[in-house]
């Protein structure tokens, strides 16, 4: 999967799509292309969802307002609160929820809303919008969400790494004008200076726009 374009700003045309959206809200917008091979690896919605809840337990508390012609079923087995649609939309929709979860946890906001809109042609393409107070945080959340989904597909996801990256993002978000050193991050995250430097480099890569 890939992000083929990324934007940040206000999108008045989507305000009607979710009753939690308010005029003046700023949104991350990504255009996500889901490839056939992603469907092959991530096609089992229930399994993928359960793996995600092990990484991001608060996803289970999300309220899903996703309203699509195709989203008819709600999976209740295993406490799945997210509506299931077609296979491409499922993957895009789960990415939306990871982004929401990351933004809410890192920013401390009590409510973050989003919407996923699928294209009729090609069906593999989706616009995902998520409320976010800062562009850098929006980019970080989108890129990390994608990385996690890709790693989940090939079995290389590292729970500890994701946890530490999220912790680092939270530290930076709370004091985003400050430039942290690896030593400070090591103390706050509880890791070696070497690992802190790797985390900082990874964070900076993820906080930049990816895609064309
Ligand atoms: Zn949803």
Model pLDDT for residues 158-203, shown as the tens digit of each residue: 999 999 999 999 999 999 999 999 999 999 999 999 999 999 999 9
Please give the distance, rounded to the nearest whole angstrom, from the Cα atom of residue 179 to the centre of ligand 1: 35
Please give the distance, rounded to the nearest whole angstrom, from the Cα atom of residue 96 to the centre of ligand 1: 7
Is residue 211 domain-resident?
Answer: no
Say if residue 129's pLDDT is above 70. yes
Print the domain residue range for 48.
2-157
* DSSP 8-state secondary structure symbol assigned to residue 23: T
| Chain centroid offset of residue 43 CA | 18
| Strand intervals (E) in 132-181 | none
Please give the distance, rounded to the nearest whole angstrom, from the Cα atom of residue 170 to the centre of ligand 1: 24
Please give the distance, rounded to the nearest whole angstrom, from the Cα atom of residue 99 to the centre of ligand 1: 11
- Confidence at residue 76, expressed as pLDDT on a 0 to 100 scale: 45
- Confidence at residue 67, expressed as pLDDT on a 0 to 100 scale: 52
Tokens of residue 106, six digits? 């890192």
Average pLDDT, the chain: 89
Please give the distance, rounded to the nearest whole angstrom, from the Cα atom of residue 97 to the centre of ligand 1: 6
Is residue 175 domain-resident?
Answer: no
Is residue 186 domain-resident?
Answer: no
Is residue 6 domain-resident?
Answer: yes
Confidence of residue 78 (pLDDT cuts 50, 70, 90): very low
- Confidence at residue 13, expressed as pLDDT on a 0 to 100 scale: 93
Name the percent of the chain lying above pLDDT 90: 71
Is residue 180 domain-resident?
Answer: no
Please give the distance, rounded to the nearest whole angstrom, from the Cα atom of residue 168 to the centre of ligand 1: 26
Higher-confidence position of 77 and 29: 29
The burial class, CB within 10 Å (0-12 / 13-18 / 19+), for 150 is middle
Compute the distance between CA of residue 181 and CA of residue 206 in angstroms, rounded to an integer: 18
Tokens of residue 74, six digits? 């709600």
pTM, two decimal places = 0.92
Is residue 86 domain-resident?
Answer: yes
Q: For the chain, what is the domain count?
A: 1
Please give the distance, rounded to the nearest whole angstrom, from the Cα atom of residue 8 to the centre of ligand 1: 20
Is residue 201 domain-resident?
Answer: no
Please give the distance, rounded to the nearest whole angstrom, from the Cα atom of residue 131 to the centre of ligand 1: 13
Please give the distance, rounded to the nearest whole angstrom, from the Cα atom of residue 65 to the centre of ligand 1: 6
Rg of the chain over all Cα atoms, to the nearest angstrom: 17
Please give the distance, rounded to the nearest whole angstrom, from the Cα atom of residue 90 to the centre of ligand 1: 9
Say if residue 43's pLDDT is above 50. yes
Please give the distance, rounded to the nearest whole angstrom, from the Cα atom of residue 201 to the centre of ligand 1: 31
Compute the distance between CA of residue 38 and CA of residue 126 in angstroms, rounded to an integer: 14
The region of weakest confidence among 30-44, 55-69, 126-140 is 55-69
Please give the distance, rounded to the nearest whole angstrom, from the Cα atom of residue 92 to the centre of ligand 1: 10
Compute the distance between CA of residue 47 and CA of residue 128 in angstroms, rounded to an integer: 22
Sheet holding 2-9, edge to edge: 2-9, 27-33, 125-131, 114-118
- Confidence at residue 65, expressed as pLDDT on a 0 to 100 scale: 66
Burial 36-65 (b: 16+ CB within 10 A, else e): eebbebbeebeebbebbbebbeebeebebe
Is residue 101 domain-resident?
Answer: yes
């Amino acid at each position: 999967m890939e992000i083929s374009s990324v934007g940040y700003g206000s999108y008045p045309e989507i305000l009607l799509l979710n009753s939690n959206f308010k005029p003046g809200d700023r949104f991350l917008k990504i255009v996500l292309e889901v490839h056939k091979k992603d469907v092959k690896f991530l096609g089992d919605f229930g399994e993928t969802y359960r793996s995600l809840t092990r990484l991001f337990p608060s996803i289970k508390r999300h309220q899903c307002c996703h309203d699509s012609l195709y989203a008819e079923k709600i999976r209740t087995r295993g406490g799945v609160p997210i509506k299931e649609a077609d296979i491409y939309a499922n993957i895009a929709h789960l990415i939306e929820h990871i982004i929401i979860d990351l933004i809410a946890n890192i920013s401390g906001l009590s409510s973050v809303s989003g919407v996923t809109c699928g294209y009729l042609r090609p069906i593999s393409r989706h616009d995902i919008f998520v409320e976010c107070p800062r562009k850098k945080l929006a980019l970080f959340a989108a890129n990390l969400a994608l990385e996690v989904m890709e790693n989940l597909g090939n079995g290389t996801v590292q729970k500890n790494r994701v946890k530490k990256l999220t912790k680092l993002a939270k530290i930076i978000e709370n004091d985003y004008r400050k430039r942290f050193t690896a030593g400070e991050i090591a103390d706050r995250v509880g890791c070696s200076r070497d690992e802190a430097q790797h985390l900082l480099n990874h964070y900076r890569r993820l906080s930049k726009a990816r895609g064309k």
